[in-house]
Amino acid sequence: MNSLFTHTGSSSFTEFLGAHAPNLLPTRAETLAAPVGDQIPHATTIVAATCAGGVVMAGDRRATSGNMISQRDMEKVFRADDYSCMGIAGTASTGIEVARLFRVELEHYEKTEGRSLSTEGKAHRLATMIRGNLAMAMQGLVVVPLFAAYDPAADSGRIFSYDVGGGPYEQHDFHSIGSGSIFARGALKKLYRPGASPQDTVLACLQSLYDAADDDSATGGPDVTRKIWPVVAVITADGFRRLPDEEVGEFVQSLLEARMTDPDGPTAPLR
């Protein structure tokens, strides 16, 4: 076996790839002559909220190219490892590549070091990858992820957001990114309950995505006719679990039934 692959000199797969096959990195793509702007599909709203013993992340399924819907069933929430995930907003193609590379990065570290990174280590490793995409971001290919993980040291969920320069910024209780994030975060301010069960937190996240879709044209609501539901992931001490479409569909159905009599959704008590 080639010693190049058995003695990499670094626990970072990104550094190894950059040294020996830089053309495979999304951040080393050929420089564009001009900003591509709205020509490339963009991913939109992602929400995350901590719950009892973990964290929930959910994302809508719509991708847009300018004023056009380019895809109705896009995946925006990705498993990073057994206890973490990331959601993407911004340039869809670059975001998907970063998500895949981040997953390999964590696997590579675990295999070379014999242990997994800490939650802070994962968050900072992702920040380094985002920072490497800054040149492309300046041309319009912006990727802004949301990272969520179960932290065994704290026995709780944690959420990290980023800017185009990397970040990271730890968020408490809940956060959202993407074009509909303002509306989703406003909904979560009223619906979020600290220490709520994962099921109640999933419903709160779905309500916030519905509110985002109600006010932001780039955010897709539940597509009942095509049975396209938001992607929902729950991470606890038992590990990462993506909810099957049938289970998400049941949550959405109860949400829609309630919205038939109260279109603006549930209200929070003043006292």
Catalytic residue among 6, 27, 31, 44: 44
Is there a catalytic annotation at residue 50? no
List the end-to-end C-alpha distance of the chain, in Å, as a whole number. 68
* Closest-CA residue to 257 (of 216, 176, 203): 203
HSE of 229, CA atoms in CB hemisphere, 13 A? 23
CA 170 to chain centre: 14
Q: Show which residues are catalytic.
A: 44
